[in-house]
Amino acid sequence: MTALSGENIAFIGLGLMGRPMALNLEKAGAVLTVNTRNPETLNAFEDLGIATAGTPADAAAEADIVIICVANTPALENVLLGEDGIIDGLEEGTIRHRHGHNVGRSHTALCRCGRRSRRHMD
């Protein structure tokens, strides 16, 4: 048994930083569902036996922890508040953790999303 055995984690954003982070979570025993804009990257994760989701909302639907690792504020706002964003599907108490340096406008999006999540780490 590892430290993350059984933890249900959604990881959104599998670019240069997110991809190795997600793979390390999976190696540590997390039950991982991933989403990213690049279909080739999703296919690569699927080939590794890792669950993939077509939208951020689908990835986060059953997660206890949602980790977001995207490049900029518009991408973050889309993940949180877009048509397939996570805000409407978050269960109360879900932990959100965001990686990156997107600040400024992203704070507004995070505050709006925080009403659902209650627990956010930046």
Residue 56 in contact with residue 30, Cβ under 8 Å?
Answer: no
Report how far residue 60's alpha carbon sits from residue 8's, in angstroms, rounded to the nearest whole number: 9
Share of the chain above pLDDT 70, in %: 77
Q: Which of 8-12, 70-74, 75-79, 88-92 has the highest mean pLDDT?
A: 8-12
What pLDDT does residue 71 have? 87
Share of the chain above pLDDT 90, in %: 53
Residue 3 lies in a domain: no
Residue 76 in contact with residue 102, Cβ under 8 Å?
Answer: yes
pTM: 0.84
Residue 102 in contact with residue 79, Cβ under 8 Å?
Answer: no
What pLDDT does residue 13 have? 96
Dihedral sign from CA coordinates of 115, 81, 13, 108:
negative
What pLDDT does residue 118 have? 46
Residue 51 lies in a domain: yes
Residue 2 lies in a domain: no
Range of the domain at 13: 8-121
Residue 1 lies in a domain: no
Q: Tell me the residue type at 100.
A: G
**Residue 11: is its pLDDT beyond 50?**
yes
Report how far residue 38's alpha carbon sits from residue 15's, in angstroms, rounded to the nearest whole number: 9
What pLDDT does residue 96 have? 67
Per-residue pLDDT of 75-121, as tens digits, reads 888 998 899 998 877 777 777 666 665 555 555 555 555 555 444 44
Residue 110 lies in a domain: yes
Which domain CATH number covers 115? 3.40.50.720
Q: How many residues are given for the chain? A: 122
Residue 71 lies in a domain: yes
Q: What is the DSSP letter of 5?
A: T
Report how far residue 73's alpha carbon sits from residue 27's, in angstroms, rounded to the nearest whole number: 29
Tally the domains of the chain: 1
